[in-house]
Amino acid sequence: MTATKQIQNLADKTFATLCSAIITGEIKAGSKISEPELSAQLHVSRASLREAIGRLEACKLVTRKANIGARVISLSQQSLLEIYQIREALEGMAARQAAENASHKEITQLHQLLEHHNKETQKINGARYFQHTGDLDFHYHVVQCSHNQHLINLLGKDLYHLMRMYRYQFGSVSQRVAPALEEHSYVIHAIQAGDGELAELLMRNHIRRSRDNIMTLISEPLS
């Protein structure tokens, strides 16, 4: 899909490893990160490890205190709410700019993506598939269409990991797969029509509904 990962240094690989481990919960949320322990476990020097930890801090997956060390962030409903509010603002703007800047080719790809997701969700376990990759995929592509490089970096590199972490660890499979897909369709049509104002409005509504859904699921744990 995207360009193949170019050669990367040890710190990059270590960052990728830790990133997955934190997102999936293999390294527990709220736990302390021990440099000697991890450095031995990953067969990496502390220097490379520390650089990796620095990047984890940059994308908000860990917090660091001087002379004390790094901790994986703790998940909370409040924090998740804040992230959704930021996404509403940022992805709303992304949708607006996508309507202004997306090429014909990109719009075609958006339609294809939507169709692909529709087919996938008809299969068994489609809901889960959609929840874990499909939805983020759609949002990712809309952001790309904005052609706003700062926005792409902010959402794609900084907030993306956080969102995935919450999906993995908080993530009950959503009951609103069908409505979400329909809302995606509306957004795409507004983008295709070049109506930035409408695209922003629809995207914001979509994210707000998604947020409300998650929040009620969390505050009333049913299982």
In angstroms, rounded to a whole number, what is the distance separating the alpha carbons of residues 80 and 162? 9
One-letter amino acid identity for 211? R
In this complex, which beta carbon is closest to a second copy, that of residue 119 or of residue 157?
157
Verify binding: residue 44, DNA, rule CB under 7 A. Answer: yes
DSSP codes joined into one string, 133-198: IIHHHHHHHHHHHT--HHHHHIIIIIIHHHHHHHHHHH-PPPS-HHHHHHHHHHHHHHHHTT-HHH
Binding a second copy (rule: CB under 8 A), the pick from 32, 35, 37, 89 is 89
Residue 83 interacts with a second copy (CB under 8 A)? Answer: yes
Say which entry of a second copy, DNA, none residue 34 contacts (CB below 5 to 8 A, set by partner kind).
Answer: DNA
Amino acid at residue number 187 = V
- Closer to a second copy by Cβ: residue 3 or 222: 3
- Per CB under 7 A, contacts with DNA among 24-43 are 32-37, 43
Q: Which is nearer to DNA, 36 or 221 (CB)?
A: 36
Would you count residue 73 as binding DNA (CB under 7 A)?
Answer: no
Nearer to DNA, 44 or 165 (CB): 44
Phi, psi for 29 (deg, rounded to 5): -60, 135
DSSP code at position 62: E
DSSP conformation class of 210: H
Chain residues binding DNA by CB under 7 A are 7, 9-11, 32-37, 43-48, 50-51, 64, 66-70
